[in-house]
């Protein structure tokens, strides 16, 4: 029953009351003077004489009305109607009243009728006024007339309040009942990725143990490879250096001008490696191509220097002529036996040139450079993680050098500055090669992606197991498979697929469209990447972490646009967000294990002495930029422990560093005070700037040895 019907009820009551009042209104409106056709009267109504009727009709005569109207006062032409009933005298129906009395009676009746109409809602109104929850009530018109007035019951009939209508029904993102089963399952899966404080402490102790083991012997899980780089830059270095980077299908050539104030200028070019050279029959074909790209770069960007060198060579006057020191970033497995010597162990990334395996890659490149007569010397063989450490040390503010360079991107690795006497597997060798011993330090490439391959302390969920079993290198790089960007997206995919296989779990499933707040049934398209290995990119985790929109609309749009899952509900998006956050949090806490292990094991928390830099060997106190370089809090500059990081995870995932720091505080050897001393900064272009800086260090080492 709606409000319109209630209005009609009230109208019916009014109409009934008016019809009952109409006769009384006619009486009240009767004129005081009798009709001229009637018998006159004085003070009282006089009954007119009955008409003369024949005796035959006298018995059936019916008297006319007592009221003196024209009908009553007509000449005696009234027609008598025979009837078997006895005649009734109508003049006895009304008492003889005065005009004043009659009007008083009429007025009283009118007043009663109006009072009844006005006061009828009063009892219900009083109840409504004092009710706890007022609602609409309208008394029914049934039974309320002048002949049957004011019939009330204990509960008068009411018109119920109409239900509120939902405006814009069927539009996107309307509210639906939350499905708690999916939320609970998402929390259950997220709990599988928890890596609590006790686990962090236990893993840190294991990392330290493997660090020491790797420094003493070969073939350990943590490789701990000596790099022959014995000092890091401090930002005061000047000069023009070159770097080349063979990291995959592209070859990059750079020249770096160091300005001596922690800044630099970089010029670079990049060229794709032809497919036929990646599988050439001889190494000469590939390295000749690389040397020609260096030549082209010099002609384009250093024309004067290049042609000046050629002129000197032609005249035989090469004494004192400047030669570019070049850092060679070679991102393939090598056995490094000197700062510019490394034997290729095997090819990866689609390369397959058997002629080069076991040869010194620096010597192969230098031979082709010399054949072209270029003013370039391959001064250093560079690992990109070591380059990250060098680049950070040059650009970071502060008085001390950087302790650690770490990469948290597609892969993960770390290189740090170690005391030379602890690298016993190098110092005890008779054929270790030449290196500078004056600093007492050496940069060590940890290759920590293989930390704890035996899974003594690393977490190992069913998703980790499945990822490892289906990878190209099962059983190795177990630490990397739980941290790096290459694998985190796949872990999320496996967790979601696990929920999809459960028929009772409503992930990306709807019984009907009303269960979905976009009022459309969720669909996973046949070609959705969620069904393909490596189908989910780790960038989805960053999107989930950064989406604070109502209903997680950014996540839903991403799943629809990039992953073929349409009409994703808010509950679906929330479940994805919860699981993705747990995976990323575990990765950050594992990253803290590696950082903490190096900080603790190098003894930097117990001493204020920093890393040896290139200028300290000559007793120069380097002047750094005027930049606030303290750690997280009020920490003296000499107590700051500087760490350089690079990679998409640490750079773009929201809160990744915060999670690392939280885990660091949970380790007793570090705690709140130690964590405040750690300064984490972004280091860019380790394979470019870092390689050039290593070439600089290598050149100075060569001069020192000479």
Task: Determine the average pLDDT of the residues in 594-613.
Answer: 83
pLDDT on residue 552: 93
pLDDT on residue 135: 43
pLDDT on residue 308: 79
Q: Is 491 exposed, middle or buried (0-12, 13-18, 19+ CB in 10 A)?
A: buried
Pick the CATH number of 228-382 from 3.30.420.40, 3.10.129.10, 3.40.605.10, 2.60.40.1080: 3.30.420.40
pLDDT on residue 122: 54
Query: Are 244 and 252 spatial neighbours (Cβ–Cβ below 8 Å)?
Result: yes
**616 or 491, higher pLDDT:** 491
DSSP 8-state symbol, 516: S
Confidence band for 144, pLDDT divided at 50, 70 and 90:
very low
pLDDT on residue 91: 45
Task: Determine the average pLDDT of the residues in 460-485.
Answer: 95
Query: Are 20 and 114 spatial neighbours (Cβ–Cβ below 8 Å)?
Result: no
Closest CA to 594 of 444, 425, 329, 406: 406
* Highest mean pLDDT out of 51-55, 68-72, 329-333: 329-333
**444 or 331, higher pLDDT:** 444
- Calculate what percentage of the chain has a pLDDT beyond 70: 70
Task: Determine the average pLDDT of the residues in 190-214.
Answer: 97
Confidence band for 178, pLDDT divided at 50, 70 and 90:
low
- The answer on pLDDT for 500 being more than 50 is yes
pLDDT on residue 181: 86
Range in 6-20, 242-256, 333-347, 369-383 with the lowest mean pLDDT: 6-20
Confidence band for 307, pLDDT divided at 50, 70 and 90:
confident
Task: Determine the average pLDDT of the residues in 286-311.
Answer: 89
- Calculate what percentage of the chain has a pLDDT beyond 90: 51
pLDDT on residue 606: 86
Confidence band for 317, pLDDT divided at 50, 70 and 90:
low
List Cα–Cα distances, 510 to 186, 342, 515, 520, in angstroms.
Answer: 17, 59, 6, 9
Q: Tell me the Cα Rg of the chain.
A: 50
Confidence band for 249, pLDDT divided at 50, 70 and 90:
confident
**704 or 385, higher pLDDT:** 385
pLDDT on residue 65: 40
Residues labelled as active-site residues = 331, 346, 384
User: What pLDDT, in 10s, does the model give residues 380-409?
Assistant: 999 889 999 999 999 987 777 899 999 999
- The answer on pLDDT for 619 being more than 90 is no
List Cα–Cα distances, 643 to 215, 491, 634, in angstroms.
Answer: 21, 28, 18
């Amino acid at each position: 029953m709606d409000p319109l019907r209630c209005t009609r009820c009230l109208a019916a009551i009014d109409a009934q009351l008016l019809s009952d009042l109409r006769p009384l209104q006619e009486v009240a409106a009767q004129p005081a003077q009798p009709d001229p056709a009637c018998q006159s009267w004085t003070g009282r109504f006089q009954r007119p004489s009955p008409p003369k009727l024949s005796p035959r009709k006298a018995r059936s005569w019916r008297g006319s009305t007592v009221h003196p109207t024209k009908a009553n006062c007509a000449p005696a032409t009234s027609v008598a109607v025979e009837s078997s009933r006895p005649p009734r005298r109508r003049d006895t129906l009304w008492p003889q009243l005065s005009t004043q009395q009659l009007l008083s009676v009429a007025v009283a009746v009118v007043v009663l009728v109006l009072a009844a109409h006005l006061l009828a809602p009063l009892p219900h109104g009083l109840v409504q006024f004092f009710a706890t929850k007022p609602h609409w009530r309208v008394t029914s018109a049934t039974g309320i007339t002048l002949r049957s007035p004011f019939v009330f019951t204990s509960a008068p009939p009411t018109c119920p309040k109409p239900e509120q209508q939902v405006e814009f029904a069927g539009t996107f993102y309307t509210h639906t009942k939350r499905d708690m089963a999916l939320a609970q399952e998402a929390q259950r899966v997220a709990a599988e990725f928890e890596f609590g404080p006790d686990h962090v402490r236990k893993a840190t102790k294991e990392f330290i143990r493997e660090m020491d083991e790797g420094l003493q012997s070969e073939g350990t899980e943590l490789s701990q490879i000596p790099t022959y780089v014995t000092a890091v830059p401090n930002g005061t270095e000047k000069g023009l250096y070159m770097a080349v980077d063979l990291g995959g299908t592209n070859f990059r050539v750079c020249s770096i001008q160091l300005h001596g104030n922690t800044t630099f200028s970089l010029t670079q070019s990049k060229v794709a490696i032809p497919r036929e050279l990646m599988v050439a029959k001889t190494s000469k074909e590939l390295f000749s191509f690389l040397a020609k790209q260096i030549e082209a770069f010099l002609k384009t960007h250093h024309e004067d220097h290049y042609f000046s060198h050629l002129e000197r060579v032609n005249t035989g006057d090469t004494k004192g002529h400047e030669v570019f020191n070049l850092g060679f970033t070679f991102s393939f497995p090598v056995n490094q036996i000197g700062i510019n010597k490394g034997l290729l162990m095997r090819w990866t990334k689609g390369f397959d040139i058997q002629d080069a395996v076991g040869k010194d890659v620096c010597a192969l490149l230098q031979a082709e450079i010399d054949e072209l007569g270029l003013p370039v010397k391959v001064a250093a063989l560079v690992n990109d993680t070591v380059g990250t450490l060098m680049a950070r040390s040059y650009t970071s503010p502060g008085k001390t050098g950087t302790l650690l360079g770490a990469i948290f991107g597609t892969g993960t690795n770390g290189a740090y500055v170690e005391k030379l006497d602890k690298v016993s597997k190098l110092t005890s060798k008779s054929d270790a090669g030449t290196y500078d011993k004056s600093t007492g330090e050496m940069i060590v490439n940890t290759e920590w992606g293989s930390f704890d391959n035996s899974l003594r302390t690393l977490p190992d969920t069913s998703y980790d197991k499945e990822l490892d079993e289906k990878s190209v290198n099962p059983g190795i790089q177990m630490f990397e498979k739980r941290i790096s960007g290459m694998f985190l997206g796949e872990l999320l995919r496996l967790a979601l697929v696990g929920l999809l296989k459960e028929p009772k779990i409503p992930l990306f499933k709807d019984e009907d469209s009303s269960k979905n707040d976009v009022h459309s049934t969720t669909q996973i398209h046949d070609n959705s990447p969620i069904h393909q290995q490596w189908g989910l990119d780790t960038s989805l985790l960053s999107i989930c972490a950064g989406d604070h929109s109502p209903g997680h609309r950014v996540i839903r749009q991403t799943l629809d646009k990039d992953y073929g899952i349409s009409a994703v509900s808010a509950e679906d998006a929330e479940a994805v967000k919860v699981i993705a956050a747990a995976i990323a949090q575990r990765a950050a806490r594992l990253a803290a294990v590696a950082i903490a292990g190096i900080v603790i094991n190098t003894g930097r928390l117990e001493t204020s002495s920093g890393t040896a830099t290139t200028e300290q060997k000559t007793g120069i106190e380097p002047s750094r930029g005027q930049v606030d370089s303290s750690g997280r809090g009020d920490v003296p500059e000499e107590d700051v422990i500087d760490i350089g990081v690079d990679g998409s995870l640490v750079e773009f995932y929201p809160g990744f560093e915060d999670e690392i720091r939280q885990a660091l505080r949970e380790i007793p050897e570090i705690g709140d005070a130690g964590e405040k001393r750690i300064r984490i900064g972004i280091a860019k272009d380790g394979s470019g700037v870092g390689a050039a800086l290593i070439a600089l260090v290598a050149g100075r080492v060569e001069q020192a040895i000479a």
